[in-house]
Amino acid sequence: MNIIDKAINFVAPGIAAKREQARTEVVRQQAVRQVTSQLISGPGSNGRGYGKHGASTTKSSMLFWNTPAGDADVDIHQNVPKLRERARDLHAGTDIVAAAHKGLRTNIVGTGLKLNTAFDAKFLGLDTVRAEKLRSSIQREWALWADTPKCDAAGLSDFYQLQALAFISTMMSGDVFALMPSKPRRWSTYDLKINLIESDRCATPPDIAITDRDRIQSGVEVDADGMVVAYHFSNRHPGAVGYNLTGANEWVRVEKYGIRTGRVNVLHLFEAERPGQRRGIPVIAPIIESLKQLSQYTSAELAAAVITSMYTVFITTPADDEGDSPFDGVGMDAGDLDGADYAAGASGDEIKLGQGAIMRTDPGEDVKFADPTRPNPNYEAFVRAMLKQMAAALELPYEILTKQFTNSYSASRGALLEAWKMYRMRRAWLSKSFCQPIYEEWFVEAVLKGRIEAPGIFDDPAIFAAYTRAEWHGPSQGLLDPTKEVDAAVTRIENNMSTAERETAELNGGSWEQNVQQRAYEKSRLKELGLTEGGSGAGQLATPQNTPVEDDEDGE
């Protein structure tokens, strides 16, 4: 104890005791910090290199940041059910989440990814006439199956609507499954059906032995090499009424590939982030916490704004001698917001704000007005800052997420181009994971039924791939400046940097083949009618010159 402490102890013993207690607490905290640092520090946290920065266990900002390492099962699979439930709840009740999910679906799938046959005519030895005949046959037969709900096992959606449903379900729940059973039905030319199964129904059956739990995780079964061999599905959704009733639930094991044919039985749509990951997570999983808090904040601000819009007079009177409430039990229910029935014993337990509600005053009573300080002037700036971070996590520019294009043309175009990088990536993923495998299964049935001629298709995998090669085109990007962008497309075609088919699909989602056929018909039709096109050849009809009407023989 130094001289100052001795003096304080002599003059004010209580203060001296508090100083000594604070000094002891500081020493204790330092000791705890040192011991904790020694306990949680790993071999790599040696105070050198990253050990002084991101891997530090001694800095105050990193001291209690304990990050145990887990495999994909521990970190992802065990948490997927809760993430899935919360993501769906946010989709149902949070506008920005619904906008994100539906915006991705609209821009990536839209009205559907359309088939563009791209079989290798040269490898297959097809001349121009035979190639065109095969192309027309494929497009006609494909439309017969894909354009009607006959392709859906439930009989509700056509193939393009199934694409949209599968995609938005994957974004919302993390993954979705598609079975491809053969179900002959009346009035259906093809037996192939698409049966979409929601992610909740794929789970590990409760009767699976503990020793098999490592092989079967979250309903996905792998072999000794880690290859997926089967999926386990429940015949009922776990949220369905009566799911837990005895005998009401059955589990089915479905092989991923057919034992005899090797054809695909189950399509599993999800985006993996880690090796060994067998199930997907909702696209909003990293920002669920922020979204929930932002939703609560928005609701609070909205409620405050509603209160602000109400014009209500409060009457304040001093309590009587017995301390009773000056309101004397008076309340206003939802039907009395105009101040009516202001009398003792009226229904209601609370005084409610109303639209222009004015309560009768007596002489000597004070009048005060409800004046909440809302809306918050900082609300918009704060929400905008939060949404920018969330948009980045979704790989979307803020302008695309909120549909606000208030900046310059260059900024808006830059936002669109950035978004379309992600759109194209996910469109390619959906094409390869969903559309192409289904198209190949349909093609096999069409050949077996004799509706499409494809000699040698089952003789060699290379021939099969040559026949079934296809491209899938979706909605176009849209044009901010049509003249500039069309000129750029023409330049790319003229310099052999692109094709007319690709540019047509990207500019307006159309088909170059169908366009030229329609243009040929239009030109021949104009010629039949004695009309001409505009000078640009763009199909503008020239107005026929009016010819004078000759007088008849009577001069009338």
Among the three residues 345, 379, 413, which one is the final residue of a domain in this structure? 379
CA 382 – CA 228 distance, rounded (Å): 46
The yes-or-no verdict on residue 102 having pLDDT over 90 is yes
CA 532 – CA 529 distance, rounded (Å): 9
Asked if residue 201 lies in contact with residue 238, where contact means CB atoms within 8 angstroms, the answer is: yes
Among the three residues 40, 67, 94, which one is the final residue of a domain in this structure? 67
Of all residues in the chain, the percent with pLDDT exceeding 90 is 47
CA 325 – CA 341 distance, rounded (Å): 18
Closest CA to 379 of 297, 287, 288: 297
- The DSSP symbol for 199 reads G
| Residue 28, domain extent | 3-67
pLDDT at 174: 94
- The pTM assigned to this predicted structure is 0.76
What average pLDDT does range 274-296 have in this prediction?
A: 93
Strands 220-222, 175-179: pairing is unpaired
Note whether residue 245 is domain-resident. no
Note whether residue 248 is domain-resident. no
What average pLDDT does range 446-454 have in this prediction?
A: 96
CA 55 – CA 52 distance, rounded (Å): 7
Asked if residue 438 lies in contact with residue 180, where contact means CB atoms within 8 angstroms, the answer is: yes
pLDDT at 538: 46
CA 113 – CA 428 distance, rounded (Å): 10
User: 149-177, pLDDT tens digit by residue?
Assistant: 999 999 999 999 999 999 999 999 999 99
Strands 216-217, 195-198: pairing is unpaired
Note whether residue 324 is domain-resident. yes
User: 217-264, pLDDT tens digit by residue?
Assistant: 899 999 989 899 999 999 988 888 766 666 668 899 999 998 888 889
The yes-or-no verdict on residue 546 having pLDDT over 60 is no
Domain count, the chain: 2
Asked if residue 386 lies in contact with residue 294, where contact means CB atoms within 8 angstroms, the answer is: yes
| Six token digits for residue 132 | 């065109």
pLDDT at 320: 57
Among the three residues 379, 405, 426, which one is the final residue of a domain in this structure? 379
pLDDT at 374: 66
pLDDT at 449: 95
Note whether residue 348 is domain-resident. yes
Note whether residue 144 is domain-resident. no
Peptide bond into 205 cis (omega under 30): no
- SS3 per residue for 490-547: HHHHHCCCCCHHHHHHHHHCCCHHHHHHHHHHHHHHHHHCCCCECCCCCCCECCCCCC
pLDDT at 46: 57
With b for 16 or more beta-carbon neighbours within 10 A and e for fewer, the 464-494 pattern comes to bebbbebebbbbebeeeeeeebeeebeeebe
pLDDT at 552: 47
Neighbouring-strand partners of residue 195: 179
pLDDT at 306: 81
